[in-house]
Amino acid sequence: MQGVRAVMPTPGGVRRARRGWRTAVVALAAGGLLLVSGCQSRTPTSAAQAAADSAAQAAARPTISFTPASAATGVRPDHPVSVTARGGHLTTVTVVDEKGRSVEGVLAADQASWTAVAPLRVASHYRVSAAAVNDAGQSSEQTAFFATIKPKKVLQTSISPLSGSTVGVGMPIVVRFNKPVGDRGAVERGLTVQSGKAAPGAWSWISDTEVHYRPQTYWPANDTVTLDVKLRGVQAGTDMWGMRNRSVTFKTSAEMVSTVDVARHTLTVRRNGKVQRVIPVSTGKDGFLTRNGIKVVLEKHTMKVMDASTIGIGKSDPEYYRLEVPYALRVTWSGEFVHAAPWSVGSQGRANVSHGCVGMSMSNAIWLFNQTHIGDIVRVVNSPRTLEPGNGYTDWNVPWSTWLRGSALTS
């Protein structure tokens, strides 16, 4: 019988066996952990699933968009500013510039959009903030920024009459511009006039830098008139924009119309249609005739130095004069006045001896001066010399149909 030989493991074999055991134990342990983990949660949630859930929730929130887009530059001041919500409705919208001045707007009936109703300011930066919510109560908030154009030219205005003044019923509204207006229609649309009493009127352009407004007939007496100038954000020409809105309010006085009859040498003053006084006067002599037409009182001077050199008469000319003239009412830019002329009282009511002005006694001149407002009417009749357009406020000499053709909107 053969004997059985026992084979003893070598030390290396023992180590391999032990490593194999340990590996088995670790594998089992890992398997056990996985098994236990599986028992604790019947609906496993991975990182990918959590991200998908978060994305779905975000997608359910309302979205907000802006016009102009955020970070836009060179935005036109008349560019429509709007905010729109999708998947919900807007709860708040604010638009402010860098000085905290807000822009007014209106919310649509469905509250899904908001639109500005006021023009922007040029050369300004704006912040738009909006919030929206949906029916599930999920909300969104967003902010945008943009900047408006920086114009190369800025349109500015000067206006007559001044706000708070009282003027005669013949005073036109005069708006002068610092630069020639390229787009008259755009500017004219920014000028609106309202009066307490009905007084249909229209604008008429005198030049590219001046526009006048007058009613079809004189202003109503004792009324209030307001001019609103809304030119901020209005493009008036190439690279030229309006910067400012303003308002001017003035009152009209009683209707004062003084009629100078050159042939009869009289001045008849009517107040609200009733004759107040008939004044003997002297008007311009041959070579210096007083101009015919409807004039408007431009200035009042208790004392006015009148120098003949201003109308082209040299000091060596026998017709030259330099006088201090009291109670003078200017009616033309060329130098016609209605004034006191104590030196010609003997000719007043009988002959025309002046250099174009209407002269009267001191007492009559004081009375008329105290009754008169800038803007009152002085109407000269029966003179062969015609008043030149623009030599004063000559607007009332223009037929109404012709006046309307001077408007950029009605012509």
What span, in angstroms and rounded, lies between the C-alpha atoms of 80 and 388?
A: 46
Supply the DSSP string of 72-89, one letter for each residue. EEEE-TTSPPEEEEESSE
- Asked if residue 399 lies in contact with residue 197, where contact means CB atoms within 8 angstroms, the answer is no
Among 79, 212, 265, 357, which one carries the catalytic annotation? Answer: 357
Strand 240-242's sheet: what is its strand order?
153-155, 240-242, 235-237
SS3 343: helix
**Comparing C-alpha atoms, which of 208, 68, 210, 201 is closest to residue 125?**
68
Three-state DSSP class for 58?
A: helix
Q: In what order do the strands lie in the sheet with 191-195?
A: 166-167, 245-252, 224-230, 191-195
Task: Supply the DSSP symbol for 407.
Answer: S
DSSP H or E stretch at residue 402: helix 400-405
Active site residue 39: no
For residue 261 the two structure tokens come to 């009859």
CA-CA-CA-CA dihedral for 43, 44, 50, 56, to nearest 10: -30
**Residue in 394, 375, 219 with CA at minimum distance from that of residue 292:** 394
Rounded distance, CA 134 to CA 87, Å?
6
Say which of 79, 339, 355, 373 is annotated catalytic.
339
Cα gap 87→65, rounded to integer Å: 12
CA distance 221 to 253: 6
Residue 162's CB is within 10 A of a number of other CB atoms, namely: 11
Q: Which two tokens stand for residue 179?
A: 């630069």
* 225 vs 174: CA distance, rounded Å: 13
339 is known as an active-site residue: yes
Distance, CA of 259 to CA of 263 (rounded, Å): 12
Catalytic residues: 339, 357
